[in-house]
Amino acid sequence: MNQHNEWRPEDAHLYQPSARPAPGTGYGPMAPLPDSAYDVDAVDLDQDPPRRRTGRKILITVAAGVVALFALVLLLGYIGSTRPATVTVPAQAPVPTVPMPPVQVAPPAPQLAPGVFGDGIYEVGKGPGLIEPGKYHYSGGAAMAYWARARDTSGETSSIIANGMPNGPATITIKKTDNAVIFSGDATWQKVG
């Protein structure tokens, strides 16, 4: 071939056909086969050539068998663990009934002093059970204290005008325009103005 990799008839002596391998070996030099060996009509195409098992094929077959066996063991273990357990409960003697002790009613919560309010929802106004507009003080110390000024006594969050959870002493102002006040927790609120 020349520098452009083109075949020229004058280079034919440089290329000689290689020898064919020996039949059945797949490699190595051998004597040329007769032309009848290459006759397509003489070859039985329906007959499979004999196959040899190599060490690698045997290893792959054994490995596939081991994997299949392992998968079968796992599947059987899973099936065995999903079966419902059968529990046998021994018969028990009937439990005798015991009369209930009489229910004791807790005493009513102590009444707070006038102008002092604890846990509850109070309507704003003047009179018994109502809370008057003005300033109310919480002195602190309760485990939880919550207050809210509200438009009504429904207890809905949409009715809240303002609210808070003080950690210590606090003072709030209840306005005449508020409809209700909500106190929650252990705190007591006393009117101071």
3-state DSSP of the chain: CCCCCCCCHHHHHHCCCCCCCCCCCCCCCCCCCCHHHHCHHHCCCCCCCCCCCCHHHHHHHHHHHHHHHHHHHHHHHHHHHCCCCCCCCCCCCCCCCCCCCCCCCCCCCCCCCCCEECCEEEEECCCCCCECCEEEEECCCCCCEEEEEECCCCCCHHHEEEEECCCCCEEEEECCCCCEEEEEECCCEEECC
Residue ranges of domains in the chain: 119-191
Residue 150's pLDDT band, with cuts at 50, 70 and 90, is very high
- How far apart are the C-alpha atoms of 171 and 173, rounded to whole Å? 7
Half-sphere exposure of 91 (CA within 13 A, CB side): 1
Residue reference for tokens 């309010």: 117
For residue 22, what are its two tokens?
A: 């020996």
- Looking at residue 90, what is its pLDDT? 75
- In this model, does residue 183 exceed pLDDT 70? yes
Residue 175's pLDDT band, with cuts at 50, 70 and 90, is very high
Identify which has the larger pLDDT, 75 or 4.
Answer: 75
Query: How, if at all, do strands 116-117 and 120-123 pair?
Result: unpaired
Question: What are the CA-CA distances from residue 38 to residues 28, 32, 46, 138 (Å)?
Answer: 19, 11, 16, 112
Average pLDDT, the chain: 76
pLDDT, one tens digit per residue, over 128-142 is 878 999 999 999 888
Identify which has the larger pLDDT, 78 or 65.
Answer: 65
Identify which has the larger pLDDT, 147 or 80.
Answer: 147
